[in-house]
Structure 1
């Protein structure tokens, strides 16, 4: 298999076309804003070529290109786009008259890549996709992805205070059904939680794409609930650039400058490109000092965490070929301090040490107008180590603990090869066949043996446009799994219908399939608060999912744009993998198959853009299946939870300052549970996790051309824990007791630096 991968890569490299270079000419011009100032944020480029530049401090630009006729595109986010035909003559300078860019609310169309044949605008995609762009990430002052996603409708996070990790839920489904991608490459996790979300350098992210609903045909297992695809930055127009970030933040009322208590974040990155070649190097340190909370001992309610993240990228691109290699590395240590034993004057501390190396090589080759190839080759090496020590405060000595399972390492590695072909048969029909190979392996003291799972898939989809108003995308995936008898074929069908020039209807059906992961089959986990065993006899999950949406652009003028989107979904799962009591050992939980699970609900999103204001307002209502309905028909089939969110950003242009308010209301989370009384009778009761409000206020101010100041307050309403009426306090994953949410209100101050030439 290794030699096969190398042959594929060499094949792509050998196809790089060679272009003859003749004598060049130059294009010179000036770009101004409506008030006569240099449009320093604008770019000037020759359409469908790699020739372009940014506007300098005086508003000037100069582009060198071979002789020929071109279309010059001058644009800037929030300003009008100007298109100028131009002819370049060898050895001559073409002077373009001064260009003025007026302000406009017609934002540059969001371009998405997840699940697409080729990059295209959201309005053209058959999928309902949400995007979070780089500007919103910066305005949030976030230091990790959770700080960005926690304001999104239908997304919730649960925190494990013991392990210091977090998990995501999407539209009522747990993280094991949500596929996390980094530039299209799946992230590997140790357990059934998506802790990898906290191990991605947010400073490298260009945007985040969220696709709700099963994407099993295109992306295979783990994509039953949907996909979160993190897209990293690509080379811009600068020949050389340097960026940096420093941010200091309190943790509740706890803070020490630059080290210790509080949250401390530093980042530095450099990029270079010339003649199609590009390279970048970056590093980030995130230090979280933990949070004492209500603890009166040396233990902390939120564990301290220290992260080092690094990335290296290099590649080559021209009009027809783009090939690149990227390495992402993470070294993370979570420090769990123990309470002091008053009899021995000793304490037991644990460090959870994670290391992750993700290698990926990707290539795009545009063979012609009708044919394009894309290939991904990746290798991920991930390990999680538990280091337990005893400290004697009398002598000050620290020694390793020799207790069972207190010194162990669990290792996981993943090899992925994926290649797709996009072939345009005609203006009405396009085809996308592909091959997807995934090999996962695990080892360690907590792993039963050294298991390996191989998954081989062939998928094919087609985009059919019988009319200009209708797009139909059917798809099939054929699977061969080394552990399970996968279904012979998984189908999907997505349709987009343009009802009016400003109204789009999307309807979809998909069959979901997920084979149990290594962590669910063979992973055993025992500590002070967890008692979990894997189950090699698990069955594979499958689902039938239906969703639809209608998007209405009610106002689209040069000064105002209003868009509304109404969505609905219904998912019916069989053999869903969850946790249950081990019949042979009631004190231990194990992975089991739940016979049935369902989710249903909908969302209503609205966006408004004006000259200086961006406003969103959304509502969702999600229902989760109540499994006790099967034994008690008097109970409701679904338990419901509402959400409301709103984001507001106002641009004070005279002082070049943006003020943003991010708000979300998360409704109470109901569930039914059984309990046995002293008389031996079993009764059913309603338990609820309390509702809460979350709000962040941030200010972003441009200090100089290269430096931006960010400041603000997060968790304005000072939410820390949620009341929970559940009485389930047994087992490994108990739901009883207060639910940890945050460490309270915090304040931050940061500087962002960006210089390019």
Structure 2
């Protein structure tokens, strides 16, 4: 019995010894890395991301750049340190179990964005170099350096972009590569924005403070994005949560309107913004509010009237989402209230003035989700609902008594409503390492109503599309695509095809060639929207035909290193039944939407991106031609100047230059663009129906902005400078009108002149 208990006691001691040894072994087998991330000037790399390659382990540095990685197996581990605006660093470090391994690295500021990751039109996020599309990216740093108050202030010095202003309505339209805004698709996080008229008002109805970057794809994207994408796509991508647990940001900026300014009052431009982000255990949320107040600009207008209308914009957004390693889903609301005030001049006889107020409400709801089922299969779903309303409120003000009464004239009390629903789903499936497939469905439901809308029309567009990426070799990418459309009003072609290709001619030289067929059915605003007031006479045209196009484009990109890239691009677009403004045959005083039989644009661009030491520069040139549609009937047209020219050409030159003075942590930036003269032919007809052509031109002009950005403390940044250095306000125009039904006759308005600004930005993050 004694031996029995003795043996049990020995067995118990053996088990205890094994357990203790195992625990001690587990405690000593793992090691630790203690490190510090610094910038080249010795400042801490606050909130830099540190990852251990090969294992799912990472951490963010604290505000002092310090971090600790624990529970690492002994041996060599490769660390990757990254931080927005700085070049990533990879370094191998040995981990032992007896003492913590020490690690210190310095991050260099990134001088180029040549390896920017893009998402527009891609199966999954990928670098610019790998994309089959020629994509331009305007990142958050460039937006910050521009000190822009709206998207137009960011795009106005980009190649191929031209803006036209309607001073009566206070709206701005955009042209891209010679094509009007109605052929440019504006996306917010990949979902379409809704506009009341043919002008792309939505570009300046997006909170600039919520934008992370802007991606621009030139050329038709009809297969992927459908109607309105004949000229290209502008995808405005909002900010997403980073590694921070809690973040607070704020911005104020004061700007003059030429020489007019009063602090925080109705003269000049005033911006206030505050935002907050939060995330924990996969959940994340953000919210922000921005108020933009523009007091207008008197200019050459008499009395109470102003050349540039006062505008007050109140933006708000909220977002809530949840993500894991395989699922990411979120809901976002963007809201806008915009007030435009047009003050009339005083009638000296009645001492009364007619004032018009344009009130806009826009609510954009969107739900998006990604689900990674496996390494091969990924699903994406998007849904959005836009409620857009614009009210015209006209009053008569008695300047003697101060009493206001409502005006009962035609179109002076009006409410127009536009509702749009978008449902989109795609699946990305990797059949093999060289073949990927992406089928999808796209549903767009549009409705409109109001006193200026003929009836309560709707247009529904249902589409199924499929595209594939084929990589027969490591140097060749081929992406064919087809879109099948069922439109509730118009007969679409049996299939809309596209073909994009990319050839890596050498390790530094890439050739992209593409063809696409375009189809765009007329929008509700073009068919049924009638707009009559004291300055506008526009009638919708329910008999419009759908637009069709054939487009060819390509580019040759030469990237020597991460410091230099040169891209030569070229394009040719041939349109049938392009929708534009013309004269109502029944009343020459009224403009209406008509189909132009033929319209073409062609040209080339050359863009060079250079990063050298503390200098980052972009230098570009473009030469764009627009087809003279009068040549469609040359026998019936007379031209005093001789033979009509097939294409009317216009050059552009732009330069973006930033110099960083690291000793005082300050950036100096100059943004310059030369826009050449814009020629066109004006057609007029006599009583016998004989058409004659007159050459008209809008004068060329130079535009330049200069900014200084200075980091004051870890959380505060000061930005100041001058916009419109050459003090451009109006351009000489030999045409009796500026070529748009929304434009007044005479000189073409560009800006309210040279302005001076100063702003403060605040950012605080808790990891």
Deviation of the 1:98 alpha carbon: 2.3
Deviation of the 1:311 alpha carbon: 0.3
Deviation of the 1:736 alpha carbon: 3.9
Select which of 574, 584, 587 maps to 1:572: 574
Partner in structure 1 of residue 651 of structure 2: 642
Partner in structure 1 of residue 734 of structure 2: 725
Partner in structure 1 of residue 594 of structure 2: 592
The answer to whether the 8 A contact 1:208-1:229 is kept is: yes
The answer to whether the 8 A contact 1:263-1:286 is kept is: yes
Partner in structure 1 of residue 80 of structure 2: 73
Q: Distance in 2 between matches of 1:676 and 1:479?
A: 39
Q: Distance in 2 between matches of 1:301 and 1:720?
A: 10
**Bigger CA drift: 247-256 or 312-321?**
312-321
Unpaired runs of 5+ residues, structure 2, are 1-26, 636-642
Partner in structure 1 of residue 246 of structure 2: 240
Deviation of the 1:57 alpha carbon: 3.6
Q: Distance in 1 between matches of 2:78 and 2:246?
A: 25
Q: Distance in 2 between matches of 1:233 and 1:297?
A: 43
Which structure 2 residues correspond to residues 237-636 of structure 1 after superposition, within 5 A? 237-554=243-560, 556=561, 561-632=563-634, 634-636=643-645
Unpaired runs of 5+ residues, structure 1, are 1-22
The answer to whether the 8 A contact 2:47-2:65 is kept is: no
Q: Distance in 2 between matches of 1:311 and 1:117?
A: 27
Q: Distance in 2 between matches of 1:645 and 1:120?
A: 27
Q: Distance in 2 between matches of 1:419 and 1:61?
A: 41
SS of the aligned residue for 1:147 comes to helix
The answer to whether the 8 A contact 1:673-1:685 is kept is: yes
The reply to whether residue 663 of structure 1 matches residue 668 of structure 2 is: no
Deviation of the 1:589 alpha carbon: 1.4
Deviation of the 1:592 alpha carbon: 1.1
Q: Distance in 2 between matches of 1:26 and 1:646?
A: 48
The reply to whether residue 30 of structure 1 matches residue 36 of structure 2 is: yes
Change (3 A) 1:67 1:406: farther
Deviations 1:431-479 (A, max 9, x none): 0000001101101101111111110000000000000000000000000
The answer to whether the 8 A contact 1:183-1:229 is kept is: yes
SS of the aligned residue for 2:634 comes to coil
Change (3 A) 1:702 1:172: same
Deviation of the 1:542 alpha carbon: 0.6
The answer to whether the 8 A contact 2:515-2:553 is kept is: yes
Q: Distance in 2 between matches of 1:680 and 1:277?
A: 69
Deviation of the 1:40 alpha carbon: 2.8
The answer to whether the 8 A contact 1:529-1:732 is kept is: no
The reply to whether residue 177 of structure 1 matches residue 183 of structure 2 is: yes
Partner in structure 2 of residue 18 of structure 1: none
Deviations 1:591-628 (A, max 9, x none): 11111100000101111101200011100000001011
Q: Distance in 2 between matches of 1:602 and 1:197?
A: 25
Q: Distance in 2 between matches of 1:319 and 1:41?
A: 21
The answer to whether the 8 A contact 2:166-2:744 is kept is: no
Q: Distance in 2 between matches of 1:126 and 1:112?
A: 11
The answer to whether the 8 A contact 2:676-2:699 is kept is: yes
The answer to whether the 8 A contact 2:53-2:78 is kept is: yes
Q: Distance in 1 between matches of 2:701 and 2:199?
A: 23
Q: Distance in 2 between matches of 1:83 and 1:572?
A: 49
Deviations 1:558-597 (A, max 9, x none): xxx2211101100000011111111122221111111110
Partner in structure 1 of residue 12 of structure 2: none
Deviation of the 1:39 alpha carbon: 2.4
**Bigger CA drift: 384-393 or 726-735?**
726-735
SS of the aligned residue for 1:354 comes to strand
The answer to whether the 8 A contact 1:87-1:94 is kept is: no
Q: Distance in 1 between matches of 2:738 and 2:155?
A: 29
SS of the aligned residue for 1:500 comes to coil
SS of the aligned residue for 2:247 comes to strand
Which of 1 and 2 has greater Rg? 2
Deviations 1:405-425 (A, max 9, x none): 211100001111101000000
TM-score by length of 2: 0.91
The answer to whether the 8 A contact 1:725-1:736 is kept is: no
Which structure 2 residues correspond to residues 670-749 of structure 1 after superposition, within 5 A? 670-675=679-684, 683-728=692-737, 732-733=741-742, 736-749=745-758
The answer to whether the 8 A contact 2:581-2:740 is kept is: no
Q: Distance in 1 between matches of 2:113 and 2:738?
A: 51
